[in-house]
Structure 1
């Protein structure tokens, strides 16, 4: 999103702006997720083995190689439908909520016309609010995704892998609808702080690009990509351990069934710290940052270019 809160014509109605945020965010999320899914699968599998004494993978490259050798291309994209839906919902919610929280800040905290950008601290506040709302939508989708991504690791001979709807119905049957929000504490922490870092970094870098330009100039595609890439790295560096703990909590029933229903976010974090220290809490961080940089660049290029095209 370009630095002024709203570069669209003043006559554009709030309803149209909201629909555009939803449509553009959904498109950006879907495209980026297809690119990044094999790396996300690697991250989840590495995170899920932190408390496993007989770790299957020595690192991200080993995980990718073993997955390719044993499961092929279908294995690398195991569980893709759930994150595709999740990415569309996540980015639509993020961009829409981000705009609305900015509007609230302009109305009640820091009055400014929509043609002027809010200070970075208020943009980060708006982004944190957007992340907190999005986390509620994202937790059930990530629960299904994470369970599907590790199912192959505990598969018994002759056992058939269940699909996303089967996984979803199993969770509801065994734990009720409340069980769909297993691991929400980690998702909430990651999305609230991470989204503040994501949008805040993007807006900060974008301002640097636009600082000496002509008034009203918009980001070029490469500038959107560069600022988005920085944002992607910032998101994951900010609160990655929360995501690691969340993944471990959500995959307990697949890899450590004896602990199902007996663990919490804090107890899992404590166990992971005792098992491998800071290294365990950052399991899969390298591959996550490596994929989040181009993925985030894709998201902002798609969103900014669609906004540019439909505002002219």
Structure 2
């Protein structure tokens, strides 16, 4: 039977409504997951940032969490949260919206209503690449705020907030400086987006087939199935290109932790990666990976429970 091509995008209203739903559902899912996972993300960034230090401040993730709690309390565990909240809204809204639109473009160009897992992975990679441009400035501010207490832990002066950090970056390095570490974000989000969506779609398809349903019947997913598929997606995303994230975090916190470079040179992705490899080897490039994967399981499961649930409820 001949596959029917994607309907022509005739009604702007339907396109707009679909985009608004993706943005709203993605933003909601992102906010909820970020509040849950932020202390673990803070731990990851602090572990990544110390790889190039002469002496490590923390012996591991549990030590980092314990020291942060002891010295900074609950407020310390959630230091820098406003930036990732905005980032989670922007990231997930852009990610889900772009993923849907790339899928629709592929269906229209290929003349088929169904896409293979490889094609869905390509859509995820494209969505991740687009999202990286939105995410890099937000992650830059977040990372800088997450290492503030490592610079002057006993200072009584108030620490700069996200807007002050943002203004400082623009003042010192111009608008271009907001995309410091973008190569790492681009690599992570492109490869991670492909792995994230492919793992979710693949596991969801297996679970649907177990119930005798077509793997494309995404609206029939039960909450636990969305959670299981999302959990697998979280692991796939973080394992795929974690070293790129480590290098990115080191670049974005270098000025705070190690001061300006000699001669005023600008950090590069390749140069930072080379330095980190020499200093810590493969273990250094995967600093913080364990706790990141551990928090990604419930966090990613939560994202897809919320996104799939809202999509099903308001379809």
Match of 1:132 in 2: 129
Task: Confirm or deny that 1:30 pairs with 2:27.
Answer: no
CA distance in 2, matches of 1:50, 1:67: 18
Match of 2:223 in 1: 221
CA distance in 1, matches of 2:91, 2:84: 10
Match of 2:19 in 1: 18
Match of 2:105 in 1: 104
CA distance in 2, matches of 1:214, 1:152: 52
* Larger CA deviation: 203-212 vs 282-291: 203-212
For residues 165-180 of structure 1, what are the structure 2 equivalents within 5 Å? Answer: 165-180=163-178
Match of 2:312 in 1: 308
The two structures have a TM-score, normalised by structure 2, of 0.92
Match of 2:245 in 1: 243
Match of 1:231 in 2: 233
Count of residues in Structure 1 that have an aligned counterpart in Structure 2: 298
Match of 1:3 in 2: none
Closer/same/farther in 2, CA of residues 224 and 149 from structure 1, 3 Å limit: same
For residues 282-293 of structure 1, what are the structure 2 equivalents within 5 Å? Answer: 282-293=286-297
For residues 71-150 of structure 1, what are the structure 2 equivalents within 5 Å? Answer: 71-108=72-109, 110-113=110-113, 117-150=114-147
Give the Å deviation of 1:261: 4.1
Match of 2:157 in 1: 159
Match of 2:3 in 1: none
Q: Alignment partner of 1:251: what SS?
A: helix
1:197 pairs with 195, 198, 216, which one? 195
Task: Confirm or deny that 1:268 pairs with 2:266.
Answer: no
CA distance in 1, matches of 2:309, 2:248: 34
Q: CA-atom RMSD, angstroms?
A: 1.5
Task: Confirm or deny that 1:64 pairs with 2:48.
Answer: no
Match of 2:299 in 1: 295
Give the Å deviation of 1:160: 2.5
CA distance in 2, matches of 1:197, 1:211: 21
Closer/same/farther in 2, CA of residues 261 and 33 from structure 1, 3 Å limit: farther
The two structures have a TM-score, normalised by structure 1, of 0.93
Match of 1:42 in 2: 43
CA distance in 2, matches of 1:150, 1:286: 20
